[in-house]
Amino acid sequence: MEKLRIGVAGLGRLGKVHAANIAYKIPNAELAAVCSIVPAELDYAKETFGLGSEKLYADYRDMLKDPDLDAVAIVTTSSEHCWQIEAALDAGKHVFSEKPLGVDVDQCLLAEAAVARHPELTFMLGFMRRYDKSYAYAKEKIDAGEIGTPYLVKATGIDPEALVEGAIAYAATSGGIILDMAVHDIDLMRWFLGSEATEVYALGATFKHPEFQAAGDDETAVAVYKFENGALGFLHVGRTAPHGYHVETEIVGTEGSIRISAVPQKNLAQVFNKNGVCTEAVGSFPERFDEAYLLEMEEFVNCALEGRQPDVTVEDGTKSTVVGFATTQAWKSGEVVKI
């Protein structure tokens, strides 16, 4: 079987997930090298995946010189993505990059230019929710006309209170709650509505952890969007869900609506006891989107081996970033922002 030999750059929270999927769960992929600026993560890769020392790179550009690699998966800090995309494509490697595409629009345009220069190579951005079976099913239903014309997407994403200390520590450098949390929701609104956002109004609030405001951030934000085709979007992001990781999306159409994960349940078990009937909630993003991370990487591998491009494009990355910046500007200024 032909295999795509992939080098994974970045072995933090998500890099470990992608590396394990490539190494163990995708038959036509091979984890051929890793790169990290953290020595302990290279040790982890050596022990966990049995990679030889010559396949552990501390320098990304050195990894790109490895002739044994067909592709790279970029799972590094967001500010590194765009130059790493450009360098990998120019070195002749297929590229999977985690979202966000970049942390500013100029960077995104550099990545777009590199993708345009290399139509012979596959590029994929990690908007994995599009590969989650429930979201993909919703999209199929919408495209089949089962809810008529979709005119509103309500997107909720609230991180668990159990992880709030990490969010506080990261608040000053995250780019703000909207850029940090909402890019998937923004991409989904565009995808489901088949239109681009033209206008946004946004507000933030902090009731529980004043540390967020001290860092120039907020623990909750909401935004309302108007789209080019007249449709509407409503976004709610937050950091303090007491019950777990709450990601919920509703698409409302002229003939019906679809709700995805209205109760973000952990599994199908219900506990009947003195507290009543309890369904536990999913606890974190890796748990909720476990299968989607695998499915998106399988699609990347198949695209690269078959000479195809995936449905998620580099332009999707730029457009979501543009909308994310406009939303942040609206939140900071308290004014309606034209996009």
Ligand X SMILES: NC(=O)c1ccc[n+]([C@@H]2O[C@H](COP(=O)([O-])OP(=O)(O)OC[C@H]3O[C@@H](n4cnc5c(N)ncnc54)[C@H](O)[C@@H]3O)[C@@H](O)[C@H]2O)c1
Contact status: 76 vs ligand X (CB under 6 A) = yes
d(CA 325, CA 183): 10
**CA-based nearest residue to 174, from 126, 212, 203, 206:** 212
d(CA 295, CA 194): 23
Contact status: 220 vs ligand X (CB under 6 A) = no
**Given 3, 20, 37, 199, the residue binding ligand X (CB under 6 A):** 37
**Residue whose beta carbon is closest to ligand X:** 12
Contact status: 324 vs ligand X (CB under 6 A) = no
Contact status: 39 vs ligand X (CB under 6 A) = no
**Given 6, 7, 10, 204, the residue binding ligand X (CB under 6 A):** 10
**Which residues in 118-137 contact ligand X (CB under 6 A)?**
126, 128
**At its nearest, how many Å lie between ligand X and the CB of residue 16?**
8
Contact status: 154 vs ligand X (CB under 6 A) = no
Q: How many residues bind ligand X (CB under 6 A)?
A: 23
**Which residues in 254-293 contact ligand X (CB under 6 A)?**
285
Contact status: 14 vs ligand X (CB under 6 A) = yes
Contact status: 11 vs ligand X (CB under 6 A) = yes
User: Closer CB to ligand X, residue 72 or residue 252?
Assistant: 72
User: Closer CB to ligand X, residue 37 or residue 163?
Assistant: 37
Q: Which stretch, 3-11, 150-158, 227-235, 274-282, contacts ligand X (CB under 6 A)?
A: 3-11
**At its nearest, how many Å lie between ligand X and the CB of residue 112?**
18
Contact status: 312 vs ligand X (CB under 6 A) = no
Contact status: 61 vs ligand X (CB under 6 A) = no
Contact status: 296 vs ligand X (CB under 6 A) = no
d(CA 98, CA 299): 14
Contact status: 77 vs ligand X (CB under 6 A) = yes
User: Closer CB to ligand X, residue 75 or residue 301?
Assistant: 75
d(CA 194, CA 190): 6
Say if CB 93 and CB 118 are below 8 A apart: no
User: Closer CB to ligand X, residue 60 or residue 245?
Assistant: 60
Place of tokens 């908007």: 127
Contact status: 75 vs ligand X (CB under 6 A) = yes
Residue ranges in contact with ligand X by CB under 6 A: 9-15, 35-38, 41, 60, 75-78, 80, 98-99, 126, 128, 285
